[in-house]
Amino acid sequence: MARSVSRAGAAPTPPRRRLRRSDWAAAALAAIREGGVGAVVIEGLAERLGATKGSFYWHFKDRDELVEAALERWERQETDDVIERLRAVADPGERLRRLFEMAFGDHPGGDTNVTLLADAANPLVSPALRRVTQRRLDFLTGAFAELGLTPRTARHHALLAYTAYVGYFELRRAAPSATPTGPESRDYLDHLLRVVVPARPLPPHRGNQPES
């Protein structure tokens, strides 16, 4: 791993502020969410973090390594950790309900997905995007299969659910007023689950109910 140096041949100098590698990765991920991979600019992140470029080079050899670390963080937080938490939910209908509530309620996660899809051709982004998409679809397919669907039909339901998720946040970014908010968003989520999940009663909504 590269380290910053003050002059040729000198020993590495540690950053003036004690930042961790994860601090830089988190800041880079926030920049990606706001403006795509192109928004990851070392000087700008250093200013945001109140650090120097020397702090960056203490942890990363170059910008590409930072982008990869940010994408690893995104993959872990928005996919690996979510799947791990939901594995404990035995009932597949309840598992889908909780997944949809998390996915459609987590605007930062959805917005990050939109910006990364816009950068899908970027060679740094495409491998992570493929892995995440495949894992999410496999998890959805498994839940639908547990509801008694054939593997082929379960995959179709998984694709329908995932495209609804992607499309929702694409629309929210392009035309925010077109997407539901408040109690209406809960009604939309209930309707989406009724459409996507094959005929069986859904578990009750876990959030606050709209006032009558």
What is the rounded CA–CA span in Å between residue 159 and residue 55?
43
Reported as a single tens digit per residue, the pLDDT across 40-95 is 999 999 999 999 888 899 999 999 999 999 999 999 999 999 999 999 999 999 99
Reported as a single tens digit per residue, the pLDDT across 82-128 is 999 999 999 999 999 999 999 988 678 899 999 999 999 999 999 99
**Cβ atoms within 10 Å of 100's Cβ, excluding its own:** 19
Tell me the three state secondary structure of residue 12. Answer: strand
Please return the burial class of 188, using the count of CB atoms within 10 Å of its CB with bins 0-12, 13-18 and 19+.
middle
pTM equals 0.82
Reported as a single tens digit per residue, the pLDDT across 28-42 is 999 999 999 999 999
113 closest CA partner among 21, 29, 25: 29
pLDDT band at 8 (very low <50, low <70, confident <90, very high): very low
What is the rounded CA–CA span in Å between residue 70 and residue 152?
34
User: 165-172: long-range contacts (C-beta < 8 A, 24 or more apart)?
Assistant: 165/103, 165/104, 165/110, 165/113, 166/113, 166/114, 166/117, 168/104, 168/110, 169/107, 169/110, 169/111, 169/113, 169/114, 170/114, 170/117, 172/107, 172/110, 172/111
